[in-house]
Amino acid sequence: MLVGIDLGTTNSAVACFRDGAPVLIPNSLGDLLTPSAVSMTEDCALLVGRAARDRQSTHPAMTATAFKRHMGTNKRLTLGRRNFMPEDLSALVLQSLKADAETWSGEAVTGAVITVPAYFNDRQRKATRRAGELAGLAVERLVNEPTAAALAYGIHERADREPFLIFDLGGGTFDVSIVEVFDGVVEVRASAGDNRLGGEDFNDVVVGLVRARIDPNGTLGGMRKSVLAEVMRAAAERTRRALSEADAAPFDIVWDDQAHTVTITAADFEEAAGPLLQRLRDPVLRSLRDSDIRVDALSEVVLVGGATRMPIVRRTVTRMFGRFPNTTLHPDHAVALGAAVQAGLKARDAALDEVRLTDVCPFTLGVDTIERDGGGGIRRDVFQPIIERNTVVPASRVHAFQTVADNQRAIQFNIYQGESRTASDNVHLDKIEVPVPPRPAGEVQAQVRFSYDASGLLEVDITVPATGQSYAFTISEGDGSAGDLEHRRAALAKLKVHPGDEAANAAAMARAERCYEAFLGDRRQHIGQMILAFQGVLDAQEPHAIQDARESLEKALDQLEGERFL
Amino acid sequence: MSKAIWTTLGIARTHDETAIRRAYSARLKTIDVDADPAAFMALRDAFAAARAYARRSVAQTEPVLANAAASDDRPGAGDAAEPSAAPPDPTPAKPDWVEDIEAIQQIVYGSAPREATFDEVQARTAHLLDGPAMEAIDHAANVERWTAETILSGMPRTNAMLQPAIERFGWIDRTRQWNCPPAILHVVQRYADCHFIGSLADGDDVKRAFEMLRDPLQPPGARFAPQIERMLQIAATSHPTLQHDFDRDAVAAWTAFLDHRRGQWSYRLKAGAVSKVDAIRRIFSQRGRWRGWLAIVVALNLLRLVVSWHDPSPNPGVPIAVSPTAPAPQLLANKERDIDVAVRESLVGNFGIDDVERNPTLYEALGTLWKNDQSARATQAKFTSDVRDLFERRYNRALPNLSYALAVQRQKLRLEQARAFATRDPAACADLMEGAAVDRIPPAMVERMRELDSRVLLETRKLGPASDGERRIAIPAAIGRDARARSGLGESVFHDALLGKGTPEQRCRTRISVMDAALAAPEKTALSLLRTL
């Protein structure tokens, strides 16, 4: 069975294509969304999902969240005494989703379509692919998140429509895509984005507002600054969500047995978030420019991503486009559903016979070159684009270069991905060299062909007409960070992960502990008693009793802290 | 129009875009893109070509966001182009931004004096760019385009618009992208040029020349000719938009004056374009040639007087000379240009950046120096002086690694000069051969020495270690014997003279004979000596 997976910064989801429609698969706790969080328990076993997320504020040194922001880098995250690369953690989340899918459907999951932000560069995409392979999934395809949302939106009615704009503001990334549907062909016209803009940044804004009032000297944290930071972040998220429904919301934390409360007004929040809202404009402008479409030619502006629930974001979008956005898609589910549609397309499901999807590459690919300027001087490190951004993929383009000096033995090409005029300011992919016969400068040509396919694989073919020789290269990771995948997969498999039913208990316990820390006085005592009671039931190991106890614990906690959000 | 396109799409040639699209989507469904990417690419190319064909035949009625627009697309110039920023307003009151735009256009294309309008243009621009209507993306893009066009077509009256526009639209970052539109590149160039003028001190020559060309108060005269010439050259090469600031008639008048001046003999003589022989010949070929003879007699006598007590401008034999005029203070912006300017102004040799490019290690060293200076926000003057120091260090480190040919040439040149000094001024001869700085070397010789020094700098790739001050000269026995024989001095006198004791004549003679001997000796024995002397 092929599934579609939305691997998000804050939450992940898995869906499959069944009976002509995409369907979300619930996890072992019964939720449709699984938080992208991994935590290590005292006995060196791992928790993935909701339980881990609750442990974020009680055990921040043992928990990792938002590791999607570090994908494609070599940053190591420490959980307890082990450290992990971000792709290992993503692999653990994917593994858990795979297990949930197999449990729910009863079939084996052979492959997956995984979504990535449209603006993820080559390194980040390769890291995502590796994460899938580490989890034991055959990654059939990486799909851009706004494209997936467009798929979920566009196949509802097969009628032709004018181009529409997908505005995807998730937990950690922001993507804009302009999509056109005609005759069942879903065609992406342009994509742009910002990899460092998401709900988490808005949480930081709230923390910034609050810090000035709660902790002006920066001394509150003492020796446990990182723990305080996590506690504040969790509280900031709650406050931010509350501000979506009210004009003012409280920010509550309990630290060192003392309660601190600040009230934040929606107006304060909007003002402090001004720079972030300003940053939303640039990708929109770029995608409109690149696709040559005017705002009034758009039929809809479709909002996707949890952070678009914020009224300040919605107001900004309305003012930007001069119309109200379309909110018919479920912001948290759309991407996973779209990934399932793509999985269905891959599996050649009969219901999707009339649907096709074409996507574009979001970044320009090119090489560095030397240019002669008007005054007779030369300039180095000039970026020469070969495949321009927003070209429909798969694409193949050629550009001819020639030698600069006499009797050059070889021509060296550095391959870059990016938009800067200075080549070395872009992301460096690889370096290749071809030998050339020694001739006077300018007499030897090299024709460089870039072939970029839909899954992001770049192949370079260089022909030197003077010798008639051709050289073919496949662009790999320049720094060999792929490492030994088999070895890593084995190491990952050896880790003990709490299975489904245990996870539910762990989740309930973690939530209880978090609430214990968050409340004071009588309520704290009450929670303490409930924890002890639950622990006792767990020790007795009677499955039915455990389930009942867990449910009543959850209900009691719901009463205390309100409906839990995901 | 290639038939293959229509065959690939499977329809007859047509202008109907919808039909072309339908053909494309029908074909697309028959292709497995992953298995056969080449077929997909061929179909896609055919689709693009057919669509372009269809669009070419139909007049483009919709003004497009990204293109440089015709004038009927400017907001405020017609109701048809007004973007749908707000829900339809029943009362047709003129929006604020339309007023701002009309006011700016009136000033910029009008004839009010320049100084009087600066503040108002600035205020109007700020009001336009900060207005609430700018929230709408279409409107903001239109305003951006209009602002760039107006700045360029209204120079120099639009100077006031530069700062607010560049900040608001982030154009400087935009120029770093490879597909930056030419209009924005020109606007940022204009900004840099205005900044250049603004950064000059008030009494600076170039600034005065700029003001004279902008507001001419007097007709062209020889007094300011060099500065004006320099200003015009700067405007022609590195700061082209300044030409829009100049008064056209003033420029024409000055250009004519400068051309005339360039044609005159006195100027050409000074510039070395004409040899003195020709000049003298001309004087004698005219009537009244006795005047020429008288002039020569008087001039020669004066010259004799002058030479005997006047100290001409110092030209030390050490390769690095001091630059007399400091360049206008400006920050480092363009690596190639800055290095070129610095290299030429360091007066080390007469080479420029093209020559430097041929020596990768030198180029790299200059590049690193430039990067460091740029991140330290140094001025061109500081960079030039740093380059000079770099050359000096490299020169000293290059000497121990000179090739035989180059070392021989260098010593021969010094020998020639020393011989010239030997009869008249043995002290200078001794100083020169012992490596001390010497003035009174004639310009022609200085020029040749500089030429050679440039070759040393440019041709040396590997540098020796930094010298630790004291240089010990080891003279091989054979050369020593030969030298003593040539000098005709006694052994102890010879030895003392080598160490710097004794009369100048003796020192001079000794050194010259050592050099002669070294040059006559075979390469193997003499090389290290020739390098260290």
Mean pLDDT by 10 residues, chain A (566 residues): 94 93 92 93 87 86 91 89 91 94 93 93 90 92 92 71 90 93 89 92 93 82 81 88 89 84 91 94 93 90 93 94 91 94 87 86 92 77 94 94 88 92 90 90 91 86 91 69 70 76 82 85 88 88 86 87 62
B132 pLDDT more than 90: no
- Work out the minimum CA distance from A46 to partner chain B, whole angstroms: 38
Extract the tokens encoding A470.
């051709």
Domain ranges of chain B: 3-62, 96-199, 205-310, 335-400, 402-532
Question: What mean pLDDT, rounded, does chain B reach?
Answer: 78
- Work out the minimum CA distance from A218 to partner chain B, whole angstroms: 33
Select from A113, A160, A182, A294 the residue whose CB has the most chain B CBs within 10 Å, as the one to mutate to test that interface.
Answer: A294
Query: For residues B432 and B317, is the Cβ–Cβ distance under 8 A?
Result: yes
Tell me how far apart the alpha carbons of residues A22 and A491 are, in angstroms, rounded to a whole number: 34
Task: Please enumerate, as own/partner, the contacts of A82-89 that have beta carbons within 8 Å and a separation of 24 or more.
Answer: A82/A40, A82/A44, A84/A38, A86/A127, A87/A127, A87/A128, A87/A130, A87/A131, A87/A134, A88/A131, A88/A134, A88/A488, A88/A492, A89/A38, A89/A64
Query: For residues A369 and A401, is the Cβ–Cβ distance under 8 A?
Result: yes
Tell me the helices (H) and strands (E) count for chain A, helix number first. Answer: 15, 27
Q: What does B58-108 look like in DSSP terms, one character per residue? A: S---S--SSSPPPGGGSTTS-GGG----SSPPSS-PPPHHHHHHHHHHHHH
Q: Crossing angle, helix B443-459 and helix B404-424, to 10 degrees?
A: 160
Note the pLDDT tens digit of each residue in B326-372. Answer: 444 567 777 888 888 888 777 665 677 777 777 878 888 888 888 88
Cβ–Cβ below 8 Å for A184 and B29: yes
Query: What is the predicted pLDDT for the residue at B483?
Result: 84
Cβ–Cβ below 8 Å for A294 and B84: no
Catalytic entry in A31, A87, A133, A145: A145
Look-up: residue for tokens 């979008």?
A317
Residue B475, by phi and psi: left (phi above 0), alpha (psi -120 to 50) or beta? beta
Q: Which amino acid is at A419?
A: E
| B22, B41, B84: residue with CB nearest A394 | B41
Counting one residue from chain A and one from chain B, the pairs whose CB atoms sit within 8 A come to 111
Query: What is the predicted pLDDT for the residue at B85?
Result: 44
> Would you call A6 a catalytic residue per the annotation?
yes
Please report, for residues A300, A325, A331, B136, B506, the alpha-carbon distance to residue A164 in angstroms, rounded to integers and kept in the order given: 5, 11, 16, 17, 95
- Work out the minimum CA distance from B306 to partner chain A, whole angstroms: 43
ipTM field: 0.82
Indicate if the alpha-carbon torsion angle B505, B508, B512, B518 is positive or negative.
positive
Catalytic entry in A6, A122, A140, A368: A6
Strands of the sheet containing A161-169, edge to edge, are A301-304, A161-169, A174-182, A185-194, A356-361, A391-393
Note the pLDDT tens digit of each residue in B6-41. Answer: 888 888 888 888 899 999 989 998 988 888 888 999
Q: Confidence band (pLDDT; 50, 70, 90) for B286? A: low
Tell me how far apart the alpha carbons of residues B512 and B416 are, in angstroms, rounded to a whole number: 10
Cβ–Cβ below 8 Å for A295 and B40: no
Q: Which of A279, A93, A267 is nearest to A198 (CA)?
A: A279
Length of chain B equals 533
Tell me how far apart the alpha carbons of residues A249 and A235 are, in angstroms, rounded to a whole number: 11
Which distant-in-sequence residues (6+ apart) come within 8 Å of A391 by Cβ?
Answer: A360, A361, A397, A452
| B28, B66, B87: residue with CB nearest A292 | B66
Tell me how far apart the alpha carbons of residues B494 and B506 are, in angstroms, rounded to a whole number: 8
* pTM for the model: 0.69
Query: For residues A147 and A357, is the Cβ–Cβ distance under 8 A?
Result: yes
> Would you call A168 a catalytic residue per the annotation?
yes
Nearest 10 degrees: Cα torsion A440, A442, A443, A444 = 110
> Would you call A431 a catalytic residue per the annotation?
no
